[in-house]
Amino acid sequence: MTAGESPALDLERGHVVVVGGGLAAARLVGVLRRKKHTGPITVVSAEHRAPYDRPPLSKEVLSGARDDAPLAFDAAKLGVDVRLGTRATGLDTATRTLHTDAGDLSYDALAIATGATPVLLPGTGTQSTLRTLDDALALRERLVPGARVVVIGASWIGGEVATSALAAGCLVTCVEYGDEPFAGALGPDVGASTRPWWEGVTLRTSTAVASVEPDGVHLAGGETLPADVVVTGVGVRPDLGWLEGSGLATDRGILVDARLRTNVRGVVALGDVAQRWSRHTGSHRLVEHWDEASMVASAAAATLLDWDEGPEHDPVPYFWSDVFGRKLQYVGAHRLDDALVLDRDERGALRRALWTRDGVLTAWLGVDATKDVVKARTAVGGPVEALA
Ligand code: FAD
């Protein structure tokens, strides 16, 4: 060990500070306690609510089927000091001090799980986004029959919001910069196959938004789409501003290896904020999926407890979405130039999509094919015939 390096976390006394109060943070704390870390744990969360789950926000909460989505997280039982409504504002890795808007905290090991923030478009009009429970409850109130709702972005958030807005009797327009819906994630051919799903929505593809103004959505072509509600669903970005000057290596997220280690010993990053090394793509990737944030805790906790040994976390990526009455599930990671096979039912509706490269299955998409997911997950990375 060289000067300045820390030993493995002292299980008895080591103070773990977790920044962020979402899924990755909640899971990490649970795993640390299960792995017999008995020292103090402090969770610093900018939100005023205890950890909750986000996927239901754009599904059951928005549709009115439920009002919240708490995660199993009992701070008292876990013996965790949770500082809600507290934002990390800076980090000094030399002295191991986390700066927050409620004072400084010193740590022995630090986990950063601060998620990501929705991207907004230019303009002075009101843009609704969907990241927090408060966002979902506020938007739900505005999805009333006859409301003119313009959704910007025809991807997962856009598709799920359009689903609920249609069901609520709104007049829904969706504006998408790409040529097809879902094309950013699934490519143009799969995206084109989903067009029938958007029935009832005025879908404006290949259309750029210039700005959102009080009188509506201004398109780059000069047209204005009047709107009572504008929902911007054009992606999220980790907020890294508070880490400036900390010495942590960042790109689009915090750069970590497959054991969630940042370039600074004793500091891990996990969940949506982490740009993790993946051998599946041979690159550092932002993996903004529930499955990643949930499953990564085990490896992150092992790394905190022993910096030099432990398991890697690099599973086959998985996400799902519920859009227009269908469940989409995607496993793997395809590249734009992978070969694509579309499987349709007798009426021509998309049932499955398979991406391959040199005969190897790189990704699988199923529509209402939940029973096939486990098999697909095992098959990705092997010969495509394994799926037969
Ligand atoms: P988050 O859950 O975002 O938690 C981060 C926490 O850190 C937040 O509480 C935030 O307030 C806090 N924080 C941020 N900055 C600071 C700071 N400086 N100081 C202190 N605290 C801070 N994935 C799927 O696979 N399928 C789905 O169907 C799906 N649906 C989704 C629907 C919605 C509406 C959303 C928003 C996400 C959805 N996801 C889905 C993605 C999935 O929920 C995320 O990948 C997951 O929540 C990421 O967890 P996280 O803990 O990394 O980040």
pLDDT one-digit tens code per residue, 91-107: 999 999 999 999 999 99
pLDDT score for 2: 43
pLDDT confidence bin for 280, thresholds 50/70/90: confident
What residues are paired with 21 via a beta bridge? none
Per-residue pLDDT, averaged over 114-126, amounts to 98
Cα 97 from chain centre: 28
pLDDT score for 8: 65
Specify whether the CB–CB gap between 355 and 332 falls below 8 A. Answer: yes
CA of 237 to the centre of ligand 1 (A): 11
Specify whether the CB–CB gap between 80 and 31 falls below 8 A. Answer: no
Binding site membership of 321 for ligand 1 (Cβ less than 6 Å): yes
Judged against a pLDDT cut of 70, whether residue 240 lies above it is answered with yes
Domains of the chain, each with CATH number or no CATH: 16-116+238-305 (3.50.50.60), 119-232 (3.50.50.60), 325-387 (no CATH)
Nearest to 327 by CA among 354, 351, 355, 362: 351
To the nearest whole number, what is the mean pLDDT of the chain? 95
pLDDT > 70 in the chain, percent: 97
Specify whether the CB–CB gap between 25 and 111 falls below 8 A. Answer: yes
pLDDT score for 310: 87
pLDDT score for 5: 55
Pick from 290, 322, 327 the residue to mutate for probing ligand 1's pocket: most ligand atoms within 8 Å of its CB: 290
Q: Which residue shows structure tokens 């773990």?
A: 16
Q: What is the pTM of this model?
A: 0.96
Judged against a pLDDT cut of 90, whether residue 387 lies above it is answered with no
Neighbours of 220 (CB within 10 A): 11
CA of 204 to the centre of ligand 1 (A): 28
Per-residue pLDDT, averaged over 339-343, amounts to 96
pLDDT score for 281: 82
For the CA of 272, the nearest atom of ligand 1: 52
pLDDT score for 279: 85
Q: At what angle do helices 23-34 and 297-305 cross, to 10 degrees?
A: 50
CA of 289 to the centre of ligand 1 (A): 9
